[in-house]
Amino acid sequence: MLEQHVQGCIVVKRTNAGPNHIDGVLVIGGGYAGLHAADAVRRSHVPVTVVDRTGRHDFVTRLAAVAGGAAPEEDASRPLQAFIDNVVIDSVVTIGDGSITLSDGRTITADAVVVTAGSAPSRPPIDGIGHAHTLRSAEDAVELRESIASAPSVVIIGGGATGVQLAGAAAEAHPELTIHLVEAKPRLLEGMPEAFSSGARRILEGRGVHVHLGFDVERITTHGAVVDGSLLEGLVVWAGGFSALALEYGMPTSAGGRVLVDDALRVLNSNRTFAAGDIADHRNSAGDPLPMSAQVAVQAGTGAGRNAARAVRGEPVETVDLRQIGWVLDLSGRRGLAQVGTINLTAPGADLIPPLLHEAIDLKSLFEVGGVQALCYASASVRSLFTWPLALGHHAQLLLRERLVEQART
Ligand SMILES: Cc1cc2nc3c(=O)[nH]c(=O)nc-3n(C[C@H](O)[C@H](O)[C@H](O)COP(=O)(O)OP(=O)(O)OC[C@H]3O[C@@H](n4cnc5c(N)ncnc54)[C@H](O)[C@@H]3O)c2cc1C
């Protein structure tokens, strides 16, 4: 017998004999990869449901600005239902071939599954690492924002994209704050072009950030971090890297903990489960590993979603060609770093362009997954651009009306 059972925001079909079943594709995670996967499935006219532990879409590339205090809290995330009709708010604990287990032990099956559960801050064996704050979700960003606002000094460990963007935002929003940025490598933003390292250092030091290169953190305490034998006092933020937790879900993983997929983004040894974004071990066509980035997550999510829809319809899946084309980083305060083709926009003056590119990419992504109405979820700085013409238009209307009233009076 089939009964209807309301679970979260959707209706799940439940049979007395078997587990719950969802028709179409079940996407785990509503981040960049998940939203684009769901959109690709929807465009293929196959039903899609997203299960996410928070029920919100985090704008992860905006989190450093929010946490640092350079952007408002509302920029951090939006409810997933703004983009997707069928949303289940729950945590997935295990993932099988076409099936998942939720936190309460219930199993749900679907015609196909796309896993896009992202990554989590790494936890290296540094004494006292538990004292450090991290930045990976909207919740982290809001919590960190409050802590930074009341701290006299901050020690950010990790000079990658997260640490550099956070230092830039915090220094821009709180010019009086002492900020230390500690990086073990000899340069900031390793893995990005050399010009990014010097550009980031110039912008950050221009805002008074103390950049320490080539130093490992020895110990973290409640008062700060011990670097080169001395205590750098302040609120400690660990921004030293992220790991995918694919093994926790019972999936086949690479040495880096990312789920192994074939060139159609199907999880190894499975027929109906695909994976995309930070959680998956993505490679370019030459077989080189691709970084954890929003750009790769969007491409892979779209490809995995399309292939999952094909699998549901019984069609052959297709190879998904992935690549990282350039980088765009926003360091707040209308400064940033970008690589477009062979051109680096990192020099003084040119560094004004990357924040605009960042906003343009954000708008494109919003438009793709939510159409015109999703543009209202643009960041506050873009919305303020929209409101300028509106405000001017309104002002012109008022002037015109005043003029007409005056003319009618005379
Ligand atoms: C501070 C910061 C700044 C960054 N800046 C940039 C940048 O400027 N440019 C760039 O290209 N990249 C940037 N990145 C990297 C980029 O944000 C990630 O690569 C991207 O978010 C990966 O997308 P995803 O969909 O795989 O994961 P996410 O966007 O993190 O989405 C994962 C989703 O899965 C959900 N989820 C997780 N576990 C479960 C579970 N068990 N059950 C149900 N739901 C679950 C989460 O709630 C989340 O919604 C930045 C990262 C950080 C942390």
State which residues form the domain around 179: 129-240
Q: Would 76 be classed as within a structural domain? A: no
- pLDDT above 60: residue 1: no
* Distance between Cα 253 and ligand 1 center (Å): 18
Looking at the structure, do residues 283 and 306 belong to the same domain, yes or no?
Answer: yes
Here the CATH number for the domain that contains residue 148 is 3.50.50.60
Looking at the structure, do residues 207 and 141 belong to the same domain, yes or no?
Answer: yes
- pLDDT tens per residue across span 63-100: 999 999 999 999 999 999 999 999 999 999 999 999 99
Looking at the structure, do residues 261 and 186 belong to the same domain, yes or no?
Answer: no
Q: Which residue, of 315, 339, 360, is where some domain finishes?
A: 315
Q: Which residue, of 315, 336, 368, is where some domain finishes?
A: 315
What string of DSSP letters covers 179-207?
A: EEEEESSSSSSTTS-HHHHHHHHHHHHHT
Quote the pLDDT of residue 11.
Answer: 40
* Distance between Cα 127 and ligand 1 center (Å): 27
Which atom of ligand 1 lies at the shortest distance from residue 91's CA? 42
Q: Does the beta carbon of 240 lie inside 6 Å of ligand 1?
A: no
- pLDDT above 50: residue 181: yes
Q: Would 332 be classed as within a structural domain? A: no
Q: Would 43 be classed as within a structural domain? A: yes
Looking at the structure, do residues 274 and 251 belong to the same domain, yes or no?
Answer: yes
Burial of 248 (0-12, 13-18, 19+ CB in 10 A): middle
Q: Does the beta carbon of 53 lie inside 6 Å of ligand 1?
A: yes
Q: Would 286 be classed as within a structural domain? A: yes
Nearest CA to ligand 1 atom 38: 117
* Distance between Cα 32 and ligand 1 center (Å): 7
Looking at the structure, do residues 166 and 206 belong to the same domain, yes or no?
Answer: yes
Q: Does the beta carbon of 61 lie inside 6 Å of ligand 1?
A: yes
Q: Which residue has the tokens 């997929």?
A: 261
* CA 398 vs CA 388, 391, 404, 409: distances in Å: 15, 11, 10, 16
**More reliable by pLDDT, 17 or 351:** 351
Mean pLDDT across the stretch 252-256?
A: 91
Domain count, the chain: 3
The span from the CA of 303 to the CA of 309, in Å, is: 10
Contacts of the segment 353-362: beta carbons below 8 A, 24+ positions apart: 354/328, 354/329, 354/330, 355/330, 355/331, 355/381, 357/328, 358/61, 358/328, 358/329, 358/330, 361/328, 362/59, 362/61, 362/62
Looking at the structure, do residues 150 and 224 belong to the same domain, yes or no?
Answer: yes
Mean pLDDT across the stretch 232-257?
A: 93
Looking at the structure, do residues 250 and 234 belong to the same domain, yes or no?
Answer: no
Out of 12-16, 34-38, 163-167, 201-205, pick the least confident: 12-16
Q: Which residue has the tokens 């078997």?
A: 18
- pLDDT above 90: residue 396: no
Q: Would 263 be classed as within a structural domain? A: yes
Q: Would 371 be classed as within a structural domain? A: no
Which of 293, 330, 332, 337 most suits a substitution to test ligand 1, by most atoms within 8 Å of the C-beta? 293
pLDDT band at residue 2 under the 50/70/90 scheme: very low
* Distance between Cα 89 and ligand 1 center (Å): 17
Q: Does the beta carbon of 138 lie inside 6 Å of ligand 1?
A: no
**More reliable by pLDDT, 13 or 214:** 214
- pLDDT above 70: residue 15: no
Looking at the structure, do residues 101 and 165 belong to the same domain, yes or no?
Answer: no
pLDDT band at residue 404 under the 50/70/90 scheme: confident
- pLDDT above 80: residue 393: no
Which atom of ligand 1 lies at the shortest distance from residue 57's CA? 49
Q: Does the beta carbon of 59 lie inside 6 Å of ligand 1?
A: no
Specify whether the backbone of 242 is left (phi greater than 0), alpha (psi in -120 to 50) or beta: beta
Looking at the structure, do residues 158 and 180 belong to the same domain, yes or no?
Answer: yes
Q: How far is CA 87 from the centre of its chain?
A: 19
Looking at the structure, do residues 185 and 274 belong to the same domain, yes or no?
Answer: no
**Beta bridge partner(s), residue 95:** 100
Q: Would 173 be classed as within a structural domain? A: yes
Quote the pLDDT of residue 386.
Answer: 65
- Threshold 0.85, pTM exceeds: yes
Q: Would 61 be classed as within a structural domain? A: no
Which of 28, 50, 60 most suits a substitution to test ligand 1, by most atoms within 8 Å of the C-beta? 60
- pLDDT above 80: residue 334: yes
* Distance between Cα 182 and ligand 1 center (Å): 23
The span from the CA of 56 to the CA of 46, in Å, is: 22
Looking at the structure, do residues 48 and 114 belong to the same domain, yes or no?
Answer: yes
Which atom of ligand 1 lies at the shortest distance from residue 297's CA? 23
**More reliable by pLDDT, 52 or 384:** 52
Looking at the structure, do residues 188 and 219 belong to the same domain, yes or no?
Answer: yes
* Distance between Cα 172 and ligand 1 center (Å): 24
Which of 61, 139, 237 most suits a substitution to test ligand 1, by most atoms within 8 Å of the C-beta? 61
* CA 16 vs CA 5, 20, 21, 26, 254: distances in Å: 11, 9, 11, 21, 38
* Distance between Cα 62 and ligand 1 center (Å): 11
Quote the pLDDT of residue 17.
Answer: 42
Q: Which residue, of 206, 240, 274, is where some domain finishes?
A: 240
- pLDDT tens per residue across span 137-155: 999 999 999 999 999 999 9
By C-alpha distance, which of 238, 214, 209 is closest to 225?
238
What are the helix (H) ranges across 79-125?
A: none
pLDDT band at residue 8 under the 50/70/90 scheme: very low
